[in-house]
Amino acid sequence: MTAVSGKSDPVVLRISAADVVEALVRGLRDFQALPFFGLLFGALYAAGGILIVLSVTAFGMMKGAADGGLPSMKLERRWWTPLPWSDAA
């Protein structure tokens, strides 16, 4: 089959349970060969997730979680919001 651009479309093959098991076995073999490499990336992703959660809670983005998980829609003045010029005088 040829696409409009003139290039052929990729062929999508079906996978089986054996393919999934083979991928997991190969991944385990890679991890056993270089465990520090995998642990380093795991630690980086975990630290990034923790940083995101701390940022969300520190900036008050989770205020509406008790109300069904939706953020609060009322406007509030935050410490980083600049004051209008009429309030500065």
Q: Which of 1-10, 41-50, 55-64 has the highest mean pLDDT?
A: 41-50
Count of domains forming the chain: 1
Region 48-63 average pLDDT? 80
Region 16-34 average pLDDT? 96
**Alpha carbon separation from 64 to 49, 61, 70, 74 (Å, rounded):** 21, 8, 5, 10
**Does the structure show a pLDDT above 90 at 57?**
no
Q: Is residue 89 situated within a structural domain?
A: no
Question: Domain limits at 50?
Answer: 17-67
Region 83-89 average pLDDT? 58
Q: Is residue 4 situated within a structural domain?
A: no
Q: Is residue 75 situated within a structural domain?
A: no
Global pTM value: 0.47
Average pLDDT, the chain: 78
**Does the structure show a pLDDT above 90 at 68?**
no
* Nearest CA among 68, 71, 74 for reference residue 57: 71
Q: Is residue 10 situated within a structural domain?
A: no
Mean pLDDT lowest among 47-51, 67-71, 77-81: 67-71
